[in-house]
Structure 1
């Protein structure tokens, strides 16, 4: 499936819902459930492969996992590519396309420093990816300001960064962990008509409310992986105590 198909699914007020997968089997389940896109979760992929999140997984293993996912589904695949793994834009694009992906997230956290990358540097990275990819990738620029501060204090910088990233060629911006309805509404208004991606959180707005707030894309991130792992942990604890797990 093409990047154009994925791009067309980003409609403010009618959000694309992404229940993120982490291997070929879960990707197949996502497609069988009727979702039009398979997205990956970096934490879920990393932990499944035996590495920590935050670019702890060798690049070759990341893209091998993506290739297995793309091989078994017929819908577009978009990849949580963290901060780009230190690859030059052309190489990152080449690896994404070779793996079968037609979209990616790129976050503005510098994992080596454990802090946000300077906004201009991040914009240059995104511009390089766009130049190398042309229209072949849907570029979702993750904005990590709400990871580092209160929503009120982080808002202005999140909007400023989002605008710079859109100007650099991003198709969508992702202010991760923005969860107050008034904050999300202010984001979509400030960035209109651009596509805004929001994380679905149990204590945040529901899916219908997010649509009403003008969101174009909703990600579960590592949510399903965390829920499944918690379920399995409880079953194993029961079994180790002699109680049938099901």
Structure 2
């Protein structure tokens, strides 16, 4: 437990605007070990990759007992801080979410991602509802006496077409960043945002460190650093890249060619 407490403090310190934390998202213990061997300072899972690696769709379709078993294996074989994507918290009430977060912590994790997307996939929880969910996660951390890093994800940009992104989306995101910080979140995760000026303004106005998800449409890492981004994650892209490589190798092998 002492090592976990140290890792929790370390993970908080890794979120710096001048040196953003790069997270290549893992999906199981093997991928986590490989990413750690490459020099990663922390391990993060992505719910989409974890679900598909287990044969399920994203959106809390993966049974929570499998989530916990996967977390436990990843933490057991990792020497760096581990943060877990738990989607919406796998609970319909704050009490259920608190209970689930306690179990995540007991598995060894020191951080979580929790999103405001409705389980059905369309629309977001109200600010007040999501604040209640985040406070439940904080209560779990308090109960376990650990400085759990709570990364609050908002899907405002993610659920809108890129060509429609404007300051209306930015203002709504900043409003949620302030509300989520008030509820105890330590970071704001905004997947889907890719316009440099919008990212810069978000970083300037957010009260907590900004996490974005890298994609081909994004500015360079150096530009994101200059904008003030403190955390850059890769979401499902590492899994998709590896699965594509496996598919192409399998096609060659099954055609009688060299693997």
* TM-score, normalisation: structure 1: 0.95
Match of 1:207 among 221, 244, 249: 221
Partner of 1:104: 112
Q: How does 1:134-145 map to 2 (within 5 A)?
A: 134=142, 135-145=146-156
- 1:179·1:205 contact (CA, 8 Å) conserved in 2? yes
Partner of 2:137: 129
Matched, 1:218 2:232: yes
- Equivalent residue pairs, number: 244
**Helix, strand or coil at the partner of 2:158:** helix
- 1:143·1:174 contact (CA, 8 Å) conserved in 2? yes
Gaps spanning 5+ residues in structure 2: where?
none
Partner of 1:174: 189
**Displacement after TM superposition at 1:113 (Å):** 5.7
Partner of 1:114: 122
- 2:59·2:121 contact (CA, 8 Å) conserved in 1? no
Cα-to-partner distance string for 1:45-103 (whole Å, 9 max, x where unaligned):
11111111111100000110010000001111000111101162321221111111010
**Displacement after TM superposition at 1:112 (Å):** 3.2
Q: How does 1:144-159 map to 2 (within 5 A)?
A: 144-149=155-160, 150-152=164-166, 153-159=168-174
**Displacement after TM superposition at 1:156 (Å):** 1.4
Q: Distance in 2 between the 1:16 and 1:67 partners?
A: 23
**Displacement after TM superposition at 1:182 (Å):** 0.8
Q: Distance in 1 between the 2:137 and 2:198 partners?
A: 29
**Helix, strand or coil at the partner of 1:148:** coil
* TM-score, normalisation: structure 2: 0.90
Q: Distance in 2 between the 1:240 and 1:209 partners?
A: 43
RMSD over aligned CA atoms reads 1.4
**Helix, strand or coil at the partner of 1:162:** helix
Partner of 1:22: 27
- Deviates further, 88-97 or 181-190: 88-97
